[in-house]
Amino acid sequence: MRRAAAQGLETFRGRTSYFLGRETFVSTGRSKLPGWRRALFLFLARNARSPTEFFAIPPNEVVEIGGRMEV
Protein backbone atom coordinates (compact mmCIF):
# COMPACT_ATOMS: atom_id res chain seq x y z
CA MET A 1 0.00 0.00 0.00
CA ARG A 2 2.93 2.33 0.65
CA ARG A 3 4.18 1.72 -2.88
CA ALA A 4 0.72 2.45 -4.30
CA ALA A 5 0.50 5.67 -2.25
CA ALA A 6 3.96 6.70 -3.47
CA GLN A 7 2.69 6.39 -7.05
CA GLY A 8 -0.22 8.73 -6.34
CA LEU A 9 -2.99 6.27 -5.47
CA GLU A 10 -5.12 7.57 -2.61
CA THR A 11 -5.28 5.04 0.21
CA PHE A 12 -7.32 5.07 3.39
CA ARG A 13 -5.91 3.30 6.43
CA GLY A 14 -8.62 1.28 8.12
CA ARG A 15 -10.95 1.34 5.10
CA THR A 16 -9.02 -1.17 3.01
CA SER A 17 -9.87 -4.87 2.83
CA TYR A 18 -7.33 -7.53 1.94
CA PHE A 19 -8.61 -10.78 0.41
CA LEU A 20 -6.37 -13.77 1.08
CA GLY A 21 -6.63 -17.42 0.11
CA ARG A 22 -6.20 -20.15 2.71
CA GLU A 23 -5.84 -23.86 2.05
CA THR A 24 -6.41 -26.51 4.69
CA PHE A 25 -4.81 -29.86 3.96
CA VAL A 26 -6.49 -33.05 5.11
CA SER A 27 -4.80 -36.45 5.11
CA THR A 28 -7.05 -39.06 3.51
CA GLY A 29 -4.59 -41.94 3.34
CA ARG A 30 -5.20 -42.33 -0.42
CA SER A 31 -2.13 -40.36 -1.48
CA LYS A 32 0.67 -41.94 -3.51
CA LEU A 33 3.21 -40.07 -1.40
CA PRO A 34 5.22 -42.11 1.11
CA GLY A 35 3.82 -41.71 4.63
CA TRP A 36 6.84 -39.82 5.99
CA ARG A 37 6.71 -37.30 3.13
CA ARG A 38 2.97 -36.72 3.58
CA ALA A 39 3.46 -36.27 7.35
CA LEU A 40 6.31 -33.81 6.76
CA PHE A 41 4.24 -31.82 4.24
CA LEU A 42 1.26 -31.62 6.58
CA PHE A 43 3.51 -30.57 9.49
CA LEU A 44 5.12 -27.78 7.45
CA ALA A 45 1.76 -26.59 6.07
CA ARG A 46 0.25 -26.43 9.58
CA ASN A 47 3.21 -24.52 11.02
CA ALA A 48 3.72 -21.98 8.23
CA ARG A 49 3.19 -18.33 9.08
CA SER A 50 -0.11 -16.89 7.98
CA PRO A 51 -0.02 -14.25 5.21
CA THR A 52 -1.65 -11.80 7.64
CA GLU A 53 1.27 -12.15 10.03
CA PHE A 54 3.95 -12.30 7.31
CA PHE A 55 2.81 -9.11 5.57
CA ALA A 56 1.89 -7.37 8.87
CA ILE A 57 -1.70 -6.76 7.75
CA PRO A 58 -4.11 -5.67 10.48
CA PRO A 59 -6.28 -8.76 11.18
CA ASN A 60 -9.52 -6.75 11.21
CA GLU A 61 -8.90 -5.75 7.56
CA VAL A 62 -8.49 -9.32 6.24
CA VAL A 63 -11.08 -11.49 4.51
CA GLU A 64 -9.94 -15.10 4.08
CA ILE A 65 -11.37 -17.37 1.41
CA GLY A 66 -10.40 -20.97 1.83
CA GLY A 67 -10.72 -24.51 0.73
CA ARG A 68 -9.85 -28.01 1.90
CA MET A 69 -7.44 -30.08 -0.12
CA GLU A 70 -6.97 -33.83 0.31
CA VAL A 71 -3.40 -35.09 0.58
Question: CA 26 to CA 71: how far, in whole Å?
Answer: 6
Confidence check: pLDDT of 19 > 90:
yes
Residue 41 near residue 33, CB atoms below 8 Å: yes
pLDDT in the model for residue 44: 94
Rounded Cα distance between 49 and 35, Å, is: 24
pTM over 0.85: no
- What pLDDT does 26 receive? 87
What's the CA gap between 21 and 11, in Å, rounded?
A: 22
